Copies of this chain bind each other. A is one copy, B any other.
Amino acid sequence: MNGNSSQNNESSVSTLSNYTHPSETSIDKANTNDQESGKDISVGKYGVLKMIQSSKNVLYNTEFVRVKNIKTNLADKSVWIRGRLHTSYARGKQCFMIVRQQQWSIQVLAVVSDTISKQFVKFCSNITKESVVDIKGKVARTPSKIGSCSQKDVELYIEELWVVSQSADQLPLLLEDAYRPVNGDDKDADIRANLDTKLDNRAIDLRTPANQAIFRLEAVVCKFFREILTAKGFVEIFPPRIKNAVTGNGTNVFKISYFKGSAYLAQCPTFHNIIAIAGDFERVFTIGPVFRPEDSNSHRHLTEFTNLNLEMTFKHHYHEVVDVIASLFTSIFKGLRENYQSEIKTICEQYSVEPFKFLDPPLKLEFPMAVNMLRENGVEMGDEDDLSIPNEKLLGRLVKAKYDTDFYILDKFPLAIRSFETMPDPDSKVGSNSYDMFMRGEEVLTGGQRIHDYHYLMKRAKHCQVDIEKFAYYLDAFRYGCPPLAGGGIGLERVVMLYLGLDNIRIASMFPRDSKRLTP
């Protein structure tokens, strides 16, 4: 988050005057009475803390600093940090530790001395990796830059160490394997953790720098979406995910037991957003989960994903809406490029990819032009055929080669392959006023002008064999006047995956769901 939006409950260093760690009342004494090497001069300076249970009888007033804020200006001052033991190794009378706090890390040294006992140093070297520790240490400039830490110019000389939460001995996933570069040397391939192992152990895997960055960027894409649209007068609404009916043949939807009957999970919130427009909200958006029983191992399908949906009235032509969406994407891409280079760089260290290219304003093609481009490259397809996934990708490559953009809009999809509420193109026999948008050759948005005329909508619904009774809740919304409107739905995880050039959507979903995965 640009390194400065995090305002945790550590105070600034200037107020760090009075460290009192609750050692007297809460140490597990058994851990500090290692007598094998004689009297322990460090008693009361290290050990395993009793579980922090918020007792009123424990006086806790230690103040902590953030690792990222420990710089040379703090040299010779003592500070407390709470972080994870990332690695440690003992050599003679010394123990070198790296303590990690999210994507930041610092080296900590425990050296036997007048004030630090052998027992203390041994205790340090025996702490399990990934344990949460409180450390008091004196800040020192390093003789040379430390390559393996984010804080390269400073290290800590230990004064106290308390284990807050112990990790188990054996980690099912080593952090260094979890973030080993995917496109790195082949020699790493056999020790690099595979995706399922990482997902199975997500509580560990999320701690990698790349994951810390990916899910911050996901939040940021969502934040841009919301802020840009709110500034344009859109209102966020919260339409239901439980529905009485869905379009299609029933195989493309999850069914719920609903009291004595049944119901369905929303594949998208579009219809309710449209009803809100018929209800005069003029511009609405929705952020939330949608559900589709994709029974596949596709790299780009999940059974649950986050849908960013928007719907708005227009005055004369649905391209007014396309322009709003186009500028939304451009603003998001610019916002990421201009403000989140540090996160993008971190992610690229694990998943090396090409930077995302886009035009401003974006390229807009019409479907028949795309068909022609594909035909010129040997693809056989009819005028009313949908794009297959391979053809979609091929088209993306052709567009990239010709226009040098990873983002484009494809307008005027054939009516035959769009849903019944789509407005036909009055200037074409087979087209419709509908569009998809693509990133790196994969679809990230589907949308269109929605039919707002009740009688015409009924005609189209009957033509498309829609169950009029089940969809009365939608169709009836148009009986009492509705302005012209258009909109679309964006897959959040796809946008993140494709902006970053990741090769699997599960990497961009914190807890992905597919036909085989229901945990964690």
**A residues bordering B, Cβ < 8 Å?**
1, 5-10, 22, 51-58, 60-62, 64, 82, 84, 101-102, 128, 130-132, 164-168, 171, 201-207, 211-212, 215-216, 218-219, 222-223, 226, 230-233, 235-244, 254-259, 263, 265, 272, 275-276, 278-283, 287-289, 291, 293, 295, 303-304, 306, 314-320, 423-427, 433, 449, 452-454, 456, 472-474, 476-484, 492, 509-513, 515, 518-520
Contacts and interface: CB of A to CB of B under 8 A. Distances in A.
Contacts of A320: 9
A195 to B, nearest CB: 16
Contact of A316 (B60, B242, B316, B474): B60
A289 to B, nearest CB: 5
Given A231-B5, A282-B8, A476-B203, A259 B168 contact: no
A319 to B, nearest CB: 7
A198 to B, nearest CB: 11
Contacts of A230: 5, 223
A364 to B, nearest CB: 14
Given A57-B426, A473-B519, 17 more contacts: A8-B282, A51-B452, A53-B424, A54-B316, A57-B427, A62-B315, A82-B315, A168-B454, A201-B476, A207-B280, A215-B276, A222-B238, A238-B510, A254-B257, A254-B258, A265-B265, A272-B511
A474 B520 contact: yes
Nearest to A101: B280
Contacts of A513: 240, 242
B55 A426 contact: yes
A479 B167 contact: yes
Most chain B beta carbons < 10 A, residue from A52, A54, A510, A511: A54
A51 B453 contact: yes
Contacts of A265: 256, 265
A255 B259 CA distance: 10
A316 B5 contact: no
Contacts of A256: 254-257, 265
Contacts of A56: 427
A427 B57 CA distance: 8
A203 B295 CA distance: 36
A233 B204 CA distance: 21
Contacts of A263: 518
Contacts of A454: 168
Given A423-B54, A427-B56, A449-B54, A102 B280 contact: yes
A369 to B, nearest CB: 15
Which 10 A-B residue pairings sit nearest by Cβ, starting from the closest? A206-B279, A60-B316, A6-B233, A473-B520, A203-B477, A473-B519, A244-B518, A167-B481, A203-B278, A219-B236
A481 B240 contact: no
Contact of A518 (B132, B257, B258): B258
Contact of A482 (B55, B102, B165, B476): B165
B241 A304 contact: yes
A287 to B, nearest CB: 7
Contacts of A492: 238
A168 B480 CA distance: 5
A114 to B, nearest CB: 30
Contacts of A215: 235, 237, 276, 281
Contacts of A279: 202-207, 211
Contacts of A22: 316
Contact of A54 (B235, B304, B317): B317
B426 A53 contact: yes
Given A204-B279, A453-B165, A54 B255 contact: no
Contact of A8 (B233, B257, B472): B233
